[in-house]
Amino acid sequence: MTRSIAIAYAVARKDLTSEWRTRELVPALGQFVVLALVIANFGFQIDSQNAAVIAPGVLWLALVFAGLVAFGRAFAAEREQASLEAMLLTPAPAAAIFAGKAIAAALLLVACEAVLLPALALMFGTPFNPALVAAVLIATVGMAALGCLFAAIVARVRSREVLLPLLTLPLWIPFIVAGGQAVQVAMGASGSYNQAMALLVDFDILFVVLTSLAARFVLDD
Amino acid sequence: MSAIVAYELTQRFGSDVALDAVDLALEQGEHLAVLGDNGAGKTTLLRILATAARPTSGRLEIFGLDAMRERKALRAQIGFVAHAPGLYPALSATENLEFFCTLHDIDRKRVPEVLAQVGLTNVAHRLADRLSRGEQQRLAIGRAVLHGPRLLVLDEPDASLDSGGPDLLASVMRGKSAVLATHDHALANRLCQRTVVLRNGRSLGAGTRLRVVR
């Protein structure tokens, strides 16, 4: 167990160090989410009456597409530089390697969320509070686990950019439904925040366990 | 116990037969060269021997273990140099090896020793994408021997290496079993006791280096 944690930490650290030095992904994702918000701001007739209704939808749309890019790159980069095979040809458990990749990709998405949430509050005039941040962070855990699993599956096929959304988006719907409800309540709409958060935590546990079990079969061909 | 016993290894990709019922045996400490034209099946054979690919059919034992079932256990005993170096470009040479120390669960103190062995001490802190192609190949060789494997599987490791390449390969192969794919017959003769020649996925037979030279 300790060894698996050490391996997951080393893999995540390696990915985050590479991103810090190359700055390939996060600046591009940051720009993407800000542009998405600007377009949404012009596209919808936003006023104080409808902002709290429209903003959660815009948030999840931006987050889902940023997530697809972040998780897709997690394994695509390894395949392109032919380094995934070297990593898998060690006795390291596949689940630990997968966990490290998912943690790194999730943290990159969190960095993107650090731009998205304040920008959303600024442009739509919606509240920016701990309940909103917690809902998005909790949803990110399960989305990262699923996104990375499918990214690992499609990394070896040529049409991965098309396949990844097709496989991932349907399974992200529970996070968008429960997360959307939690975000709406956090922005002032009526409803049960705790119920939505409990559902998000349940989905997180379910998909983290399932993807950890499946990782072995996906990575070790 | 033999290092490798392979029986009728066959690899098909759709209707293409990349490897056709190849038999192979390698004693412990022995070095075997695999020669053949492009597309002969050398890389396919070496990827199977390194447990990076599963054959469509056939049987493979490495150090007495079934290579299809005991892949994880065997990987601690195999060092593989693939066609592409497969390094992390944004990590230094030292960081690349330290990362693999964690994956192999070995002490990081081994890293300076390996860097010295492959002649990269002077560029230990240079990012991998700033290394020359030959230096990258040396680093890939260093990664393959980092964990002290008993079997080395080397797919054209001499590609991009300078004139010191053969000496480097001789030094890393010393005391280990090794399978070396190359186009360089002189290198095969120098480093290996036996040679097998592949053509269109079939083995034309193994022989001593003398027979191949003739």
Q: State yes or no: pLDDT of B213 exceeds 70.
A: no
Cβ–Cβ below 8 Å for B85 and A82: yes
Nearest chain B alpha carbon to A9: B102
CB B12 within 8 A of CB B34: no
> Best of B70, B71, B99 to disrupt the A interface by mutation (most A CBs within 10 Å)?
B99
Q: Which residues contact B77 (CB under 8 A, 6 or more apart)?
A: B62, B63, B149, B150, B151
Q: What strand order describes the sheet that includes B16-26?
A: B16-26, B4-13, B57-62, B65-66
CB-based contact, A216 to chain B, within 8 Å? no
pLDDT, one tens digit per residue, over A141-166 is 999 999 999 998 888 777 777 888 89
Q: State yes or no: pLDDT of A170 exceeds 50.
A: yes
Q: Which tokens hold the place of A83?
A: 């380094």
Q: Total structural domains in chain A?
A: 1
For the full predicted model, state whether its pTM sits above 0.95.
Answer: no
pLDDT at A194: 92
| Phi, psi for residue B86 in degrees, rounded to 5 | 65, 40
The DSSP output letter for B92 is B
Q: Which tokens hold the place of A139?
A: 């949803």
Cβ–Cβ below 8 Å for B84 and A89: no
pLDDT at A140: 93
Angstrom distance (rounded) from CA A215 to CA A217:
5
CA angle at residue A15 from B115 to B128, to 5 degrees?
A: 35
Q: Which chain B residues touch A91 with a CB distance below 8 Å?
A: 72-73, 75-76, 103-105
Helices A160-186 & A130-154 angle (0-180, nearest 10): 170
Q: Which tokens hold the place of A137?
A: 């962070």
Q: State yes or no: pLDDT of A17 exceeds 50.
A: yes
Q: Which tokens hold the place of A86?
A: 């070297």
pLDDT, one tens digit per residue, over A46-61 is 777 787 788 888 999 9
SS3 A117: helix
The closest CB to that of B82, out of A21, A85, A220, belongs to A85
Query: How large is the ipTM?
Result: 0.87
CB-based contact, A6 to chain B, within 8 Å? yes
User: Residue A85 is part of which domain span?
Assistant: 2-219
Average pLDDT of every residue of chain A: 89
CA separation, residue B193 to residues A144, B17, B72, B207 (Å): 51, 28, 29, 9
Angstrom distance (rounded) from CA B195 to CA A73:
42
Q: Which chain B residues touch A84 with a CB distance below 8 Å?
A: 86
